[in-house]
């Protein structure tokens, strides 16, 4: 059985909006396994991004706690990489220099930086684009550079918040396969947020379905389909239908 990488213990989060208390997360608990690809889905506005930001140490909880490798997380950690919905690269830096950035500010030796960046460029398949600037590469390529920049600091947990939402269908499907390759080769644990149910079934080891606000754990669905997965198979579409029915039920209840 896989070792637990991350423990979410009875997390609740409330915001105050115009003087009124708005409960967003309600006593949510979850174990995430080491080297797992876990995806979080749920109705729009159910608190998925809030949960990811709490795991990243960017939001405080109202109650409950987050542990990674049995250590409580209440601030950004070098063990956790986070790629938000609106990822940003430095437009004046090349692909290579964008990936180097985090290593430089952490005072890594030059020889180690060069070796690590070469390894990451090979991993994301952009070695021949290392001298390009962000404006000169596609959206999918820019997203891979953002992921590589997070991987550079040796984080063992990578959080991806709807990283493919702005891409067309063809680019999205290709980058899904690229992300799976990066995940397998880098041996990271990934928590992935998406609204795209097809994407969730294609990528995940398990899918967490959240309820509407205040969000709690509706169901965890294991995806026991061998990779690479056939999106047209009956097994794939039965799982997809189950998740859609769960979310639809949430929205009308």
| pTM greater than 0.85 (yes/no) | yes
C-alpha span between 1 and 3 (Å, rounded):
7
Identify the bridge partners of residue 66 per DSSP, sorted by sequence position. 8
Which tens digits make up the pLDDT trace of 183-218? Answer: 998 888 999 999 999 999 999 999 999 999 999 999
**Inter-residue contact 148 to 124 (CB < 8 Å):** yes
Q: What kind of architecture, by CATH, is found in domain 4-86+159-252?
A: 3-Layer(aba) Sandwich (3.40)
Q: What's the confidence (pLDDT) of residue 253? A: 41
Measured in degrees and rounded to the nearest 5, phi and psi for residue 141 equal -65, -45
Which tens digits make up the pLDDT trace of 84-105? Answer: 877 678 999 999 999 998 788 7
**Inter-residue contact 50 to 13 (CB < 8 Å):** yes
Mean pLDDT across 223-249: 93
Q: List strands edge to edge, sheet with 80-83.
A: 80-83, 157-161, 189-193, 37-41, 206-210, 217-222
Closest C-alpha to 116, from 86, 153, 145:
153
């Amino acid at each position: 059985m896989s070792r637990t990488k991350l423990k979410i213990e009875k997390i609740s989060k409330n915001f105050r909006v115009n003087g009124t208390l708005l409960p967003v997360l309600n006593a949510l608990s979850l174990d995430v396994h080491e080297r797992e690809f876990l995806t979080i889905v749920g109705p729009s506005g159910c608190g998925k991004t809030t949960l990811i930001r709490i795991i990243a140490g960017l939001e405080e909880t109202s109650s409950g706690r987050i542990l990674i490798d049995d250590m409580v997380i209440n601030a950004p950690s070098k063990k956790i990489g986070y790629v938000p919905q609106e990822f940003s690269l430095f437009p004046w830096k090349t692909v290579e220099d964008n990936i180097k950035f985090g290593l430089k500010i952490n005072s890594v030796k030059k020889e180690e930086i060069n070796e690590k960046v070469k390894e990451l460029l090979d991993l994301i398949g952009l070695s021949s684009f290392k001298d390009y600037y962000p404006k000169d590469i596609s959206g999918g390529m820019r997203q891979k550079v953002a992921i590589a920049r997070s991987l550079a600091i040796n984080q063992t947990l990578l959080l991806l918040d709807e990283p493919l939402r702005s891409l067309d269908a063809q680019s999205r499907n290709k980058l899904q396969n690229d992300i799976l390759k990066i995940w397998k080769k880098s041996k990271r644990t990934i928590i992935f947020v998406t609204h795209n149910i097809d994407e969730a079934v294609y990528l995940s080891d398990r899918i967490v379905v959240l309820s509407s606000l205040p969000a709690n754990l509706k169901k965890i669905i294991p995806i026991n389909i061998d990779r690479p997965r056939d999106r047209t198979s009956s097994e794939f579409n039965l799982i997809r239908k189950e998740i859609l029915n769960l979310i639809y039920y949430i929205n009308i209840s």
